[in-house]
Amino acid sequence: MDQTAQTLLQETEKWLAKLEAVTLPQQPKAVVANLKAYIADCKHFLKQQDYIRAFEAIIYAWGIYETVLSMKPYKGVT
């Protein structure tokens, strides 16, 4: 595995672990379903050793998570 792939794998695993350690919000349901789908995609791409797509998926998932937390009706939901 080259250095770039190794770095992508390490970063992906780091962010996946952080996201798996939090309690995901339950609302808004459609957005949370999308977040969970990106987490599942990340795991799938890791199994396929497609580290670029795995990293992209977990970063998208993290962005969705932070967006949900910043939404006024859901602020502070953990």
Residue 53 lies in a domain: yes
Quick: pLDDT tens for 2-47. 999 999 999 999 999 999 998 887 778 888 899 999 999 999 999 9
Predicted TM-score (pTM) of the model is 0.84
Amino acid in the structure at residue 69:
L
Secondary structure class of 22 (helix, strand, coil): coil
Q: Where are the alpha helices (DSSP H) in 1-78?
A: 3-21, 29-47, 51-70
Q: Tell me how many domains the chain contains.
A: 1
Residue 15 lies in a domain: no
Residue 72 has pLDDT above 80, yes or no: no
Residue 14 lies in a domain: no
Q: What is the largest CA-CA distance in the chain?
A: 45
Q: From its phi and psi, is residue 23 left (phi > 0), alpha (psi between -120 and 50) or beta?
A: beta
Residue 19 lies in a domain: no
Domain hosting residue 30, numbered range? 3-8+25-73
Residue 60 lies in a domain: yes
